[in-house]
Structure 1
Amino acid sequence: MTHRITICTSCRHKGTDCRPGYELIDKLRTAIAAAGASVPEDFEISGVACMAGCDRPCTVAYHGTKKATYLFGDIEPETDIADLVAFARQYAYLHDGWCASVDRPGKLRKATLARVPAAIIALEESEARAS
């Protein structure tokens, strides 16, 4: 199973030039490495130029093969690392990535911007389409 955490690197705090994405990437990589085996799957952590969460910086997405994707906003490198690591631990165990907001750790209960179901491509047999 492939897991990825993507962090916006262009988000800025309103009214400032502060872009916390790179700091968040560094802190989260360090924290997940320190968590060791308590996070049972590997997570690739990378940045992306924009995830269109500009009104709620910094935005963070969790993706997994055949799993729902989550987008969180208002994430702070100084205060939210423990919640992000706890969600990585939880997300690794979720078969389809689906969980209720009340089951997400700490701040992530209210910081969810989107939950996108896993992509499912429906294929129909040619006879069914012909009828």
Structure 2
Amino acid sequence: MGQKTSHKITVCTSCKHKGTTCKPGFELIDKLRTAIAQAGDAIPEDFEISGVACMAGCDHPCTVAYYGSHKATYLFGDIDPASDIDDLVDFAKQYAYLHDGWCSSVDRPGKLRKSTLARVPASMIAMELTEEAVH
């Protein structure tokens, strides 16, 4: 059995470019997977990258979430697969090193400084209680 990935990036696959039927989430997932793989050892942790049908960020397509075990979760909006991949990869590098996932907006790369929709503190106690109940 493989090692469990503790870092995840989730991309909304329902988001549409404003005023169009174009859903850029699948393109973003493909580009992000390729870019993270190409970064190799520059990112010291593995990131599972997947899509989800909706993250309720419809006014800010495309939305992307970063989360990790015992770390703050981030939700970014207005992400463009054509121009924002480098910022997303740079944040993955940064996020991997943050022990609690916490960083200020001025420390986030490029566009992610101003496109943060939410930063949710880690819910370690609730997660630990849930994990104990399952075992």
TM over 0.5: yes
User: What is the aligned counterpart of 1:102 among 84, 106, 109?
Assistant: 106
Q: CA deviation at 1:120?
A: 3.4
Matches within 5 A, 1:29-48: 29-48=33-52
Q: Secondary structure at the match of 1:121?
A: helix
Q: Larger Cα Rg: Structure 1 or Structure 2?
A: 1
- From 55, 61, 76, the counterpart of 2:65: 61
User: Residues 64-75 of structure 1 correspond to what in structure 2 (within 5 A)?
Assistant: 64-75=68-79
Gaps of 5+ in 2: 127-135
Indicate which of 20, 29, 32 corresponds to 1:28. 32
**C-alpha displacement at 1:15, in angstroms?**
1.0
Deviation at 1:121, TM superposition (A): 2.4
1:81 to 65, 80, 85: 85
Alignment identity in percent? 79
Aligned counterparts of 1:67 and 1:22: Cα–Cα separation in 2: 26
1:29: how far off? 0.1
* Per-residue deviation, 1:14: 1.2
Aligned to 1:115: 119
RMSD (Å), alpha carbons: 1.0
Distance 1:36 1:121 in 2: 33
| Distance in 1 separating the partners of 2:83 and 2:49 | 18
1:33 & 1:70 partners in 2: Cα distance? 21
Q: Counterpart amino acid of 1:86?
A: D
Unaligned runs of 5+ in 1: 123-131
Shift of 1:53: 0.2
State TM-score, norm by structure 1: 0.91
- Matched residues in 2 for 1:108 and 1:29: separation? 18
4+ residue runs over 4 A deviation: none
Instruction: Look up the equivalent residue of 2:76 and give its one-letter code.
Output: F
